[in-house]
Amino acid sequence: MKYADIIIEISSEKLDKPFQYRIPSALEDKIVPGAYVCVPFGRGSRLIKGYVVEVSDTPKLDTDKIKDIDSLAVVDEDNRAYDELIRLAVWMKRHYGGTLIQSLKTVLPVRASIKRRVRRTVYLNVSIEEASRLHAEMLSKHQVARGRVLAALMDEDGADMSLITDKLHTTAAVINAMEKLGLVKIVADEEYRSPDIGSGDGRRKVGLNEQQLKLTREFAEDYCAGIRKTYLLHGVTGSGKTEVYMELIAHVIASGRQAIMLIPEISLTFQTVMRFVRRFGDRVSYMHSRLSAGERYDQWERAARGLIDIMIGPRSALFTPFSRLGIIIIDEEHEGSYKAENMPRYHSRETAIERARLAGASVVLGSATPSVDAYYRAERGEYRLWELTDRAKGAALPTVHTVDLRQELLNGNKTMFSGKLTELMEAALGRQEQIMLFINRRGYAGFVSCRACGYVFKCPHCDVSLSYHRSGQLKCHYCGYETPVTKTCPKCRSKYVGGMRAGTQRIEAELKLKYPKARILRMDADTTSRKNDYERILKDFADEKADILIGTQMIVKGHDFPKVTLVGILAADMSLYALNYRAAERTFSLLTQAAGRAGRDVSRGEVVIQTYSPENYSVASAARQDYNSFYRQEISYRSLMGYPPAAHLLKVLIESPEAEHANKIASDISNLSRTAEAAETIGPSEDTIARINDIYRFTVYIKCEDYEILTQIKDKIEQLRQDRPDSRSRVQFDFDPL
């Protein structure tokens, strides 16, 4: 007889342990770790679903107390990957807290009842010459959607229909209409074909330079010798990191193994995907958050069956069930989106390293501005540090001018554009080159306050400042609460009520007055509320349909704009005021990445950084494009203060609809934590957002150099919650919060 340990799919901390069941002989060869099964549960033997986590020959209970597994919910191929992923889930539960079922649900594919989709590939049905003539005609008739599809196909004939609709923000109706006109033909394939069907000739398009070759050779030598490491690739923007990734992937695939490439959702563009398809053909697949459960499952199934070798996608792609995983690449490694927002709040970097360890794979982290965490580990020899110091196409790094806004004001300039920026904008417009204006206002969304008494308009439910919209309304970004702005201050009745800083809308308005003829695009939360708005704006700018693009941090990533020669950063220091130990790191990274957009393809690129604190080290080192000097100062600050990565920090968030109760639970937790002497407990205190939707929030911070001690404290808190179940509050853990 064989027995299976099964985690029941019920989200109760009490039931978060395996229960043993007997495996009926008919199912014997199908029940493997990761299998999704139905079992009778509880007194009424109600059928419930669960995951098999282990199979053994020994019963743990009296055999007549052990029930039989009822049936398989979904049959899986025998796949080593599921075993690996379950072990990863166990590690995640231990490392980040929460229940095992939460971790299992994160790593294992959602088994939806799957409707098989037919894949459709779209090909050009006219000659390139004809297409290019039609393209011009369409543009003159303002048939922009059709024009876009045609242009994409002229670039790359034969692309998946869903990739086109998804990435070129058009609809199937548009493409069907084009087919009726005989412009394209649509070929339907059977299930499981790649979503992108390019032929992919396997060869690289550019010869690698000396620096790139050195790294790829070192990797190949390590890999062949069976050495698996984590490499940190620090390479300036445009230094050819993506070419290096492709080379490493090619090497790994040639040895019969598979690759996962994580990229932030925001840089997952048509161009990026096509770059990989061009080289690797239909062995590549990609994933993004807008896939339906069925589509997602379909992708995972193809991976599990070995029908693809490369998966590209945001952080969830880390759990692609490859059974022969050889490499995990994390591009833009410093990005905040690699940290999960829900329990378990895992970080993709650490989790990738653990998955790679389980699979015998290597990890490559890449960034122009590595996270302080990753660089610290590289310095200590935990990761191998690689550097690419030059832009691959020979373009120089841009010239950076720093402007002190206090001085501008003294000189009588009350506009948002300094003299230097104005001068360079005029020159660029005159040469018909493109300009990007970037306003850094992360965590600082244009709030309204009283300049006489300091009163700030806040949301009555969420305790965050409301932000001003041109409609005259104040809005809460958390719960959507709206209220009209008042002319006088509710507190002191003065008339000095106004927005603190310029938003993108005001910049646009001023710019229109200044340059009435310039074509301007704006990208912010308001202009990108619908699906695909983001890519449409970037695409229009790339197609040179505008001279100036104004935006928040959203415009820093994504497309390449060869015509941009000037980047203006209007208020560089705003993110410095965020109440957060990573504020300087974020500022440095945003400024450097923004500056890196200038002059990527040409010899000339200029950047103007306008700031109230030119002397601040994150602003000053970004102006010099000097990562090292930034890192030195930042790491000494972190070490001094005991912040990550010099030490570890655990944030415990306690939430309850009753303020008193939340406070009491938080005190219990901090008292418990204080019994651990090696760690320093701070709080409890109100969270920076003390209330969301009338739920009160308290936090306890626990600091310790040893991560292991923090997980032990977390275990104790979880034990306390199990011993004294409490439905009126909720506790969440966040290790090394961002």
Q: Which of 329, 387, 314 is nearest to 363 (CA)?
A: 329
Nearer to Zn ion, 419 or 480 (CB): 480
Nearer to Zn ion, 60 or 451 (CB): 451
Q: Which of 23, 208, 274, 521 binds ligand ADP (CB under 6 A)?
A: 208
> In whole angstroms, what is the distance from residue 241 CA to residue 275 CA?
13
Q: Which of 19, 192, 447, 481 binds Zn ion (CB under 5 A)?
A: 481
- Binding status of residue 301 toward ligand ADP by CB under 6 A: no
- Longest alpha-carbon distance in the chain: 89
Q: Which of 206, 492, 641, 678 binds ligand ADP (CB under 6 A)?
A: 206
Among 4-12, 174-182, 236-244, 664-672, the segment contacting ligand ADP (CB under 6 A): 236-244
344 makes contact, choosing from Zn ion, ligand ADP, none, with CB < 5 to 8 Å by partner type, with none
Size of the site for ligand ADP (CB under 6 A): 15
Q: Which of 195, 235, 313, 599 binds ligand ADP (CB under 6 A)?
A: 235
476 makes contact, choosing from ligand ADP, Zn ion, none, with CB < 5 to 8 Å by partner type, with Zn ion
Q: Give 320: exposed, middle or buried? Use CB within 10 Å, 0-12, 13-18, 19+.
A: buried
Q: How far is CA 339 from the centre of its chain?
A: 7
Q: Which of 50, 97, 109, 240 binds ligand ADP (CB under 6 A)?
A: 240
Q: Least distance from C-beta 590 to ligand ADP, angstroms? A: 16
Peptide bond before residue 109 is cis, with ω within 30 degrees of 0 = no
Inter-CA distances, 278 with 270, 271, 287, 317, 377, Å: 12, 10, 17, 21, 35
Nearer to Zn ion, 481 or 612 (CB): 481
Q: Which of 148, 167, 169, 241 binds ligand ADP (CB under 6 A)?
A: 241
**Helices within 75-185 (DSSP H only):** 80-96, 100-107, 128-140, 144-155, 161-167, 172-180
How many residues can be counted in the chain? 738
Nearer to Zn ion, 123 or 496 (CB): 496
3-state SS, 259-314, equals EEEECCHHHCCHHHHHHHHHHHHHHEEECCCCCCHHHHHHHHHHHHCCCCCEEEEC
> In whole angstroms, what is the distance from residue 233 CA to residue 367 CA?
6
557 makes contact, choosing from ligand ADP, Zn ion, none, with CB < 5 to 8 Å by partner type, with none
* Cβ(361)–Cβ(209) below 8 Å: no
587 secondary structure, DSSP code: H
160-199 footprint of ligand ADP as x/- string (CB under 6 A): ----------------------------------------
Q: Count the alpha carbons within 13 Å of 558 in the hemisphere toward its beta carbon.
A: 18
Partners of 438 in beta bridges: 551, 569
Ranked by CB distance to ligand ADP, the top (closest) residue is 240
> In whole angstroms, what is the distance from residue 275 CA to residue 200 CA?
10
442-461: which residues touch Zn ion (CB under 5 A)?
450, 452-453, 455, 459, 461
Q: Least distance from C-beta 206 to ligand ADP, angstroms? A: 4
Nearer to ligand ADP, 14 or 393 (CB): 393
Q: Least distance from C-beta 274 to ligand ADP, angstroms? A: 12
* Cβ(70)–Cβ(38) below 8 Å: yes
Q: Which of 85, 178, 365, 392 binds ligand ADP (CB under 6 A)?
A: 392
- Binding status of residue 559 toward ligand ADP by CB under 6 A: no
- Binding status of residue 597 toward ligand ADP by CB under 6 A: no
404 secondary structure, DSSP code: E
* Residues near ligand ADP, by CB under 6 A: 206-209, 212, 235, 237-243, 392-393
* Residues near Zn ion, by CB under 5 A: 450, 452-453, 455, 459, 461-462, 476, 478-479, 481, 489, 491-492, 494
